[in-house]
Amino acid sequence: MPADLGLTTWNWVSPLTDDALPDVLRRIREVGYDRAELPFETLAGFRPEYAREVLEELGLGATTVGAITDDRDLLSDNPAISENGRAFLIGAVDAAAALGSPTMSGPIYSAVGRCWLQSADERKRDIATLVERLAPIAEHAANQGVVLGLEPLNRFETSFINLVEQALEVIDHIDSPGLGLLLDSFHMNIEEKSIGDAIRMAGRHVVHFHACENDRGTPGSGHVPWGEVAQALRDIDYTGPIVIETFNPRIETIARAVSAWRDFAPSPESLASEGYAFLRSTFG
């Protein structure tokens, strides 16, 4: 069975709007991808029902990710902020369902870029808080036919969940069909001792995979051990989406958010086409 390959719309635009949708999705389909990944930066950037119409016209599937900002931090001590995070994730799940996306993924626990030093007791407290606040959202996702993909990030983007092992602690506590793992080879390349072993540890919990080079550029152009990644995904019988997540450094808000200070490829088009060719040859 051929791999289910996708590409983020962030390769070209941010935020994604109704006006930008047809052109960007057409570009993704023309390269040969099976899916487009549509980010929810807000819940008002584009209309999910319209996006689904365009996707179906082009014969594309969808995946979705959520941008978790300072005002959407589920772990915040400020009730207004944590409630805003809950409302955003519920809305993103509903939008994912409307799009036909099987998952809604991201660092669905704390704002990207928020790092804080924890004692063992403080970490235990924060995990308990996350479990309490995330469990009802996972239940809602399951009822909508969507799975949340919890994503470990590298140490420069969070101090809370950097490793598969840490993410599994949360998943085991919640124990819901509405919660799994998004693994990203960019982050794993920084944090895991062995990417292959980490994927095998995650096992059946992997619901989404970001195939990203070590510099977030074109897969195959850097030093991510792609043979090891592909074998590990085969070992766990993963058949879900494999999506390139990259960012256009010419979009100032994205560049600052992910520290994208230079072009990752000669053009977004070359990243899309060369990345597709590499992933197709690597994953089948």
Catalytic residue list: 151, 245
Structure tokens at 159: 């101090």
In Å, how far are 42, 68, 105, 108, 239 from 88, measured between CA atoms?
Answer: 8, 9, 13, 10, 28
Bridge partner list, 64 = 38, 104
Q: Characterize the bridge pairing of strands 61-66 and 147-150.
A: unpaired
Alpha-carbon span 161 to 263, nearest angstrom: 28
Assign 163 to helix, strand or coil: coil
In Å, how far are 3, 221, 233, 269, 283 from 279, measured between CA atoms?
Answer: 9, 12, 13, 15, 6
SS (H, E, C) 135-156: HHHHHHHHHHCCEEEECCCCCC
Contact indicator for 93, 104 with CB cutoff of 8 Å: yes
Work out the widest C-alpha separation in the chain, in whole angstroms: 52
Q: Report whether the peptide linkage leading into residue 15 is cis, meaning its omega lies within 30 degrees of zero.
A: yes
Backbone angles phi, psi at 170, to 5 degrees: -70, -45
Please list, in sequence order, all residues whose beta carbon lies within 8 angstroms of the beta carbon of residue 234, skipping any fewer than 6 positions away: none
Alpha-carbon span 87 to 94, nearest angstrom: 11
